[in-house]
Chains A and B, each alone.
Chain A
Amino acid sequence: MYLTMSFEELDHTADVLIRVRGATMSEVFSEASRAMFHVMYGPCEDRGIMRQITLDAEDPESLLIDYLSELLFITDVENIVFCTFDVDIRGTRLSAVARGEPFDPARHAGGALIKGISYFDLAIVKEKDAYVVDIIFDI
């Protein structure tokens, strides 16, 4: 038995491979984004900055890529580091609220810059009591 939501880094020689688990599809998405920001910036606090995202895609994997890519775009242009994510998935429609703080070089520099999210072997799988997905981040 594991905690309902979790992520762990698995071995991947070139890039960053993260295994994400969640009891629901919404939890998987939320945890995937938390993992991505952890890789890029390390610890972060909610200091009242909030962004809303709504997306629609043809399948859950494409939706996950679009969601994480949208967050990459926001962090790159607005210099926001997000730490909490409330995600609601209805079919292939997503609405999410991401909360965080401004980028602070003293606390957030030195992480791995993620260039993109790979489709390679990307499949959200339903196991007995959780959804699981392995995501490769290109760094």
Chain B
Amino acid sequence: MFEGINKIGDLEWEVPVGYVPDMRVPGRFFLSEALAETLEEGAVRQLANVATLPGIVKHSLAMPDIHWGYGFPIGGVAAFDMAEGIISPGGVGFDINCGVRLITTPLTEADIAGKMRELIEALFSVVPTGVGTKSSMQVSNKELAEVMVSGARWAVERGLGIPDDIIRCEDEGAMPGAETGAVSAKARQRGMPQIGTLGGGNHFLEIQVAEEIIDPEAARVFGITEGQICFMIHCGSRGLGHQVATDHLRVLEKSLGKYRIRIPDRQLACAPINSPEGRAYFGGMACAANYAWANRQVIMHEARKVFAKIFGIDYDDMRLIYDVAHNIAKFEHHDVGGASKEVCVHRKGATRAFGPGAPGIPSEYATVGQPVLIPGSMGTSSYLLRGTTMAMQKTWGSTCHGAGRVLSRSKAKKEFRGRELREQLAKEGILVRAHRDSVLAEEAPGVYKPSHEVVRVVHETGISGIVARLEPLGVIKG
């Protein structure tokens, strides 16, 4: 471990005040010795930079998938005092409400054997992926305003889903506080033709099998059984969210002097939560977050129709377990010094993991805590976890979001050949579909930290509990 960082538990580390100048609180992160081998010093510096921001409460935190990003590290979590604190797009990222949803089907591996190629091709043809793709669904400017306020509900009211879908989304698929006036004409122009598109990078739609149930009671409550075929959708708010982040970052950057805020990295540009600039960012970010929930709802609808057609199963028998955001800022109540206090929690590459009985989770899941979805990389395990009381105490009800990269794109392209990788995965029984094989090399399983180790750390520290392990059978890539 780097000099100056203290081990404070088996899997917990502290970055003391003074690691970088002007820290207001210490940093803390969760990591095993094995994962520590790939930790970048830049990521720790970014964690420490977050601790310099005004109004930060308790600690600047990072989950075990911590890695070097911009502004906050990826895997970063921080809460800010509502009166003294700030809100920052650097604590959310450009892809506002990038997130994941998991859907079960009544099918088993035997049911889909021999039909996987047809399934993957059908999904690839109805869910636009990658750069330059547009949706077959074009919404008007007026409708877009409804999307930005109502999120997943907008889609369900249009017949693109069932009412139960809404209650099985974080924030019921629409966070409060959306201010459409804070979304520029440019962002709207980008958003109108992109609802129902996956986007690029590490986004995917994956067919999975529930290979192992680790926590039978929670699995029963979540409605998942061993051997069940599921599908997982990982994507965000597309060009609309990217533009909202870009627009507000510039506004906040210009207002730093006005609020006498000194920051060590311009990507941490921020404003007081209750300032006009801070409120405008939150209102715009909420619009983008709601757009992302609508986007994932539409993609799920298209995928359900494909499954129903190919396998002759009922649309309503494909049950959404949950939908989680992993790039977001929210106002939440948490225990601070024995009293419930409202704070602004930023999660950048981190997932909400509220424990049993916490407000804001579906009543059907209240006894076990909320479902948490951790997508693996192409060809590796994904996990269904549950939130815990420990997460409420230690991490503002947060946990990891994925595996976290260890290899750059350029190195990945040197080490892996897309075509060979596709063939290798096919031998392992995993079908992959993308526009080009080169995309596969950049997202090869070997470029990510092992997801099982990241999940082991959050399980053993108690900030989440493993419920089920899901293995990939087929994937369409962005």
Footprint of B on A, CB under 8 Å?
A: 9-17, 40-41, 58, 61-62, 65-66, 69, 72-73, 76-77, 79, 81, 103, 105, 108-113, 115-122, 136, 138-139
B434 touches A110 (CB 8 A): yes
Footprint of A on B, CB under 8 Å?
A: 40, 67-71, 74, 93-95, 130-134, 186, 189-190, 199-201, 239, 242-243, 245-246, 249-250, 253-254, 265-267, 269, 405-411, 434-436, 438-439, 442, 478
Q: Which residues of B contact A40 (CB under 8 A)?
A: 131
B131 touches A77 (CB 8 A): no
Q: Which 5 pairs between the two chains have the least Cβ-Cβ distance?
A: A110-B436, A113-B200, A116-B94, A120-B70, A119-B266
Q: Which residues of B contact A58 (CB under 8 A)?
A: 254
Q: Which residues of B contact A111 (CB under 8 A)?
A: 131, 200
Cα–Cα distance between A127 and B272 once the two chains are bound (Å) = 38
By DSSP majority rule, is chain B's interface helix, strand, loop, or mixed?
Answer: mixed
> Which of A10, A61, A66, A69 has its CB near the most chain B CB atoms (within 10 A)?
A69
B250 touches A15 (CB 8 A): no
**Contacts A14-B67, A62-B253, A109-B130 known; A115 to B95 CB distance under 8 Å?**
yes
**Contacts A113-B199, A120-B267 known; A13 to B407 CB distance under 8 Å?**
yes
B94 touches A14 (CB 8 A): no
A-B contact pairs, 15 of them (CB 8 A): A9-B409, A13-B40, A77-B190, A105-B132, A109-B130, A110-B436, A113-B131, A116-B94, A116-B246, A118-B70, A119-B266, A120-B70, A120-B267, A138-B95, A139-B200
Set A15, A73, A113: member contacting B190, Cβ < 8 A? A73
CB distance from B141 to the nearest CB of A (A): 13
What number of A-B contacts does a CB cutoff of 8 Å give? Answer: 121
Cα–Cα distance between A139 and B70 once the two chains are bound (Å) = 12
Q: Which residues of A contact B74 (CB under 8 A)?
A: 14
Set A109, A117, A139: member contacting B201, Cβ < 8 A? A139
Cα–Cα distance between A40 and B411 once the two chains are bound (Å) = 18
Q: Which residues of B contact A72 (CB under 8 A)?
A: 242, 246
CB distance from B210 to the nearest CB of A (A): 29
Q: Which residues of A contact B410 (CB under 8 A)?
A: 9-11
Q: Which residues of B contact A77 (CB under 8 A)?
A: 186, 189-190, 239
Cα–Cα distance between A72 and B250 once the two chains are bound (Å) = 15
Set A12, A115, A118, A121: member contacting B408, Cβ < 8 A? A12
Q: Which residues of B contact A103 (CB under 8 A)?
A: 132
Set B69, B245, B435: member contacting A15, Cβ < 8 A? B69
A138 touches B246 (CB 8 A): no
Q: Which residues of A contact B438 (CB under 8 A)?
A: 110
Set A13, A109, A112: member contacting B406, Cβ < 8 A? A13
> Which of A17, A81, A109, A139 has its CB near the most chain B CB atoms (within 10 A)?
A109
B434 touches A115 (CB 8 A): no
CB distance from A113 to the nearest CB of B (A): 3
Cα–Cα distance between A105 and B124 once the two chains are bound (Å) = 14
B253 touches A105 (CB 8 A): no
Set A76, A105, A136: member contacting B70, Cβ < 8 A? A136
Cα–Cα distance between A120 and B42 once the two chains are bound (Å) = 11
Q: Which residues of B contact A118 (CB under 8 A)?
A: 70-71, 267
Q: Which residues of B contact A113 (CB under 8 A)?
A: 130-131, 199-201, 478
Cα–Cα distance between A115 and B194 once the two chains are bound (Å) = 14
**Contacts A58-B254, A109-B130, A112-B200 known; A120 to B436 CB distance under 8 Å?**
no
B67 touches A13 (CB 8 A): yes
Q: Which residues of B contact A41 (CB under 8 A)?
A: 131-132
Q: Which residues of B contact A109 (CB under 8 A)?
A: 130-133, 435-436
Cα–Cα distance between A105 and B130 once the two chains are bound (Å) = 10
A110 touches B246 (CB 8 A): no
Cα–Cα distance between A63 and B239 once the two chains are bound (Å) = 21
Known contacts A72-B246, A77-B189; 19 additional CB pairs below 8 A are A11-B408, A13-B408, A17-B408, A58-B254, A62-B250, A62-B253, A76-B190, A77-B190, A77-B239, A103-B132, A105-B133, A110-B131, A112-B131, A112-B200, A113-B131, A118-B70, A118-B71, A119-B266, A122-B266
> Which of B68, B132, B439, B478 has its CB near the most chain A CB atoms (within 10 A)?
B132
Cα–Cα distance between A105 and B435 once the two chains are bound (Å) = 9
Cα–Cα distance between A122 and B134 once the two chains are bound (Å) = 32
Q: Which residues of A contact B406 (CB under 8 A)?
A: 13
Cα–Cα distance between A58 and B253 once the two chains are bound (Å) = 11
CB distance from B285 to the nearest CB of A (A): 14
Cα–Cα distance between A66 and B254 once the two chains are bound (Å) = 13
**Contacts A40-B131, A115-B242 known; A13 to B70 CB distance under 8 Å?**
no
CB distance from B27 to the nearest CB of A (A): 17
Cα–Cα distance between A133 and B125 once the two chains are bound (Å) = 40
CB distance from B202 to the nearest CB of A (A): 9
Q: Which residues of A contact B253 (CB under 8 A)?
A: 62, 119
Q: Which residues of B contact A10 (CB under 8 A)?
A: 410
Q: Which residue of B lies closest to A17 (CB)?
A: B408
CB distance from A72 to the nearest CB of B (A): 7
